[in-house]
């Protein structure tokens, strides 16, 4: 048992939460090198708001960004100010017990897609039309998909627009502990997977499955599956090159960061990272073999893992900072924090090879997300603050 990073209603409530998995195949070494050239990094309390879980930008030309509140609100936050306005309220449709609530937001054109749990605790992906001024049209709500959740934890929560314009939905293994029903590696289940869909309605269907998803032609498999073997991918993101970075919350011992490299097809087009990838849970937790009744041959190893203790106990990812980001000292670094430690950690990288691990900023409270926009890097913390990260 350990503290859940999203047990908002009672931070002292003990929940069983765990991490990802990986195998010895395709290993990416984690040298744990602590070099001396870490940038000078500091935090600034940029906004005070109840229970923020994420900061999201629709497009760089907007004069505002968005802040999600776990209890069900989306705020439009004017850049460079402390002014915010509520533009969506779904508090009547969700609850905040255990790890539930409004958990993710992304945009495709003038449509917003949110990930939230409903009153039954199931995952819902819903679409809203958004005006040019950033206001949501509440009456435009359309449910894209609903996924049954057998337990109250391990809901994942993020929803991300990929470099291909498709929607990526990270699903936890269903909850409890140790993936008791062994869902994460079962291709007949949506839980414990990264899903990829085209969320636009297609005739009578609320969404369609891209024809190049890896299991479309596999009998009995869920065609929405893009990757498998995940425990609780609370936050994940794509970098400039289309590589998929996943911070998967650990079980009893290990927290981990994995990267699934992008590839190119025969025409030279980028295939986003993670296609057909197996992240290994519950056959593996971090670098260790875990459930011996499960097999995950050729599972992807984490690029970085750390044991529970002073470094924390529940990873909150995570972005690889863009190569042209105005916080130049952190360009191409991967940043994550931990709900238990409240420390921002930077992974110094050479390509996709880890060359250094650095503690950058302390005192971030119960941090739940690290996000970047075109102008800033932000940490959302359940001490009711959004911090901006500044580096030189």
The string of DSSP letters for 338-373 reads ETTT--EEEEEEETTEEEEEEEEE----SEEEEEE-
Average pLDDT in the 126-131 region? 98
pLDDT greater than 70 at residue 348: yes
- Report the candidate in 174, 147, 159, 157 with the shortest Cα–Cα distance to residue 100: 157
Distances in whole angstroms, Cα of residue 224 to Cα of each of 42, 206, 215:
41, 13, 8
Cβ neighbours of residue 292 under 8 Å, at least 6 residues apart?
Answer: 283
pLDDT greater than 50 at residue 21: no
Unique residue bearing structure tokens 């529970």 = 308
Percent of the chain with pLDDT over 90: 89
Cβ neighbours of residue 243 under 8 Å, at least 6 residues apart?
Answer: 259, 260, 261, 262, 273, 320, 352
CA pair distance 343, 141, nearest whole angstrom: 37
CB atoms within 10 A of CB 353: 11
Query: What length is written for the chain?
Result: 392
Q: Please give the pLDDT value at position 13.
A: 30
* 231 close to 282: Cβ distance less than 8 angstroms: yes
pLDDT greater than 50 at residue 183: yes
Distances in whole angstroms, Cα of residue 281 to Cα of each of 22, 50, 65, 131, 383:
6, 33, 35, 41, 31
Least confident interval from 4-8, 89-93, 178-182: 4-8
Helix or strand or coil: residue 329? helix
Q: pLDDT grade, residue 245 (50/70/90)?
A: very high
What is the CATH architecture assignment of 17-66+102-108+149-391?
6 Propeller (2.120)
pLDDT greater than 90 at residue 241: yes
Tokens (6 digits) for 47? 């906004």
């Amino acid at each position: 048992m350990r503290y859940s990073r999203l047990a908002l209603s009672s931070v002292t409530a003990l929940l069983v939460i765990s991490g990802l998995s990986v195998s010895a195949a395709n290993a990416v070494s984690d040298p744990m090198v602590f070099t001396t050239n870490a940038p000078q990094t500091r935090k600034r309390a940029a906004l005070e708001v109840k229970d923020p879980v994420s900061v999201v930008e629709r497009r760089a030309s907007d004069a505002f960004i968005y802040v999600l509140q776990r209890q069900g609100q989306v705020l439009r936050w004017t850049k460079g100010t402390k002014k915010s306005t509520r533009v969506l309220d779904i508090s009547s449709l969700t609850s905040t017990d255990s790890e539930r609530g409004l958990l993710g937001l992304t945009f495709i054109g003038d449509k917003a897609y949110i990930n939230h749990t409903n009153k039954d605790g199931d995952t819902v992906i819903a679409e809203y039309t958004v005006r040019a001024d950033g206001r949501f049209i509440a009456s435009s709500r359309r449910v894209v998909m609903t996924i049954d959740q057998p337990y109250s934890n391990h809901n994942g929560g993020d929803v991300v627009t990929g470099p291909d314009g498709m929607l990526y939905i990270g699903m936890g293994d269903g909850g409890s502990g140790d993936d008791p029903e062994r869902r994460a590696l079962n291709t007949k289940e949506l839980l414990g997977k990264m899903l990829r869909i085209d969320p636009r309605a297609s005739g009578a269907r609320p969404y369609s499955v891209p024809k190049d998803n890896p299991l479309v032609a596999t009998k009995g498999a869920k065609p929405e599956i893009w990757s498998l073997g995940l425990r609780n991918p609370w936050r994940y993101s794509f970098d400039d090159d289309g590589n998929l970075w996943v911070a998967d919350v650990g079980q009893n011992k290990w927290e981990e960061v994995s990267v699934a490299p992008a590839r190119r097809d025969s025409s030279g087009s980028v295939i986003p990272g993670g296609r057909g990838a197996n992240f290994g849970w519950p056959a593996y937790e971090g670098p260790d073999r875990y459930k011996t009744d499960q097999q995950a041959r050729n599972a992807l190893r984490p690029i970085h893992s750390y044991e529970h203790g002073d470094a924390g106990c529940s990873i909150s990812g995570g972005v690889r900072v863009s190569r042209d980001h105005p916080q130049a000292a952190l360009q191409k670094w991967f940043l994550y924090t931990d709900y238990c430690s409240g420390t921002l950690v930077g992974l110094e990288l050479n390509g996709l090879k880890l060359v250094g691990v650095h503690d950058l900023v302390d005192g971030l409270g119960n941090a739940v997300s690290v996000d970047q926009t075109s102008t800033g890097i932000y940490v959302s913390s359940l001490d009711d603050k959004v911090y901006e990260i500044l580096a030189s």
